[in-house]
């Protein structure tokens, strides 16, 4: 496993649509492992393959609910309710903004064994699913920000000092 470089907003790859994964192979399995390691190293709760420079429909999520989620070729099939709160992105470090997302989503996807499954999520998991699936379409959360982006680096400095 290896930590990969996270692409930063402005990198053209973050604006491109990703291709479906047709079969699991050693390189794709290594990519998934690297995505988890990269996500944890950056203190994130989700990561999409284009964020590490790979145009494949793969998402990794860990929202501290005791599970690691791999979503291959995900498709959101249901959404309900709403939640509004601050959201950030590993591809735009030091910034966050207020975004409204569904409070509940259901997604169908393939797991790392290419087996179909459905995942339902509420709260942070629903937010992470929506955020990461948008990356696969070449979209970033900044398109949904209500008001201005805020600098979170100052908050982090206050906490650490």
Q: What are φ and ψ of residue 127, in 5° steps?
A: -60, -45
133 is in an annotated binding site: no
132 catalytic, yes or no? yes
Of 87, 132, 137, 146, which residue is the catalytic one? 132
131 is in an annotated binding site: yes
130 is in an annotated binding site: no
Active site positions, annotated: 132
Give the residue ranges of the annotated binding site for Fe cation. Answer: 89, 131, 135
């Amino acid at each position: 496993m290896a930590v990969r470089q996270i692409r930063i907003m402005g990198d053209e790859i973050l604006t491109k649509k990703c291709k479906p994964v047709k079969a699991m192979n050693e390189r794709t399995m290594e990519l998934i492992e690297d995505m988890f390691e990269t996500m944890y190293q950056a203190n994130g709760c989700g990561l999409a393959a284009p964020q590490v420079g790979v145009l494949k429909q793969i998402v990794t999520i860990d929202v501290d609910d005791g599970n690691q989620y791999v979503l291959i070729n995900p498709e959101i099939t249901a959404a309900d309710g709403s939640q509004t709160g601050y959201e950030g992105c590993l591809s735009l470090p030091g910034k966050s903004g207020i975004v409204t997302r569904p409070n509940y989503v259901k997604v169908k996807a393939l797991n790392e064994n290419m087996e179909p499954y459905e995942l339902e999520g509420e709260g942070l998991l629903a937010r992470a699913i929506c955020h990461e699936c948008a990356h696969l379409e070449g979209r970033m959360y900044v398109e949904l920000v209500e008001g201005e982006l805020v600098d979170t680096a100052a908050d982090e400095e206050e906490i650490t000092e």
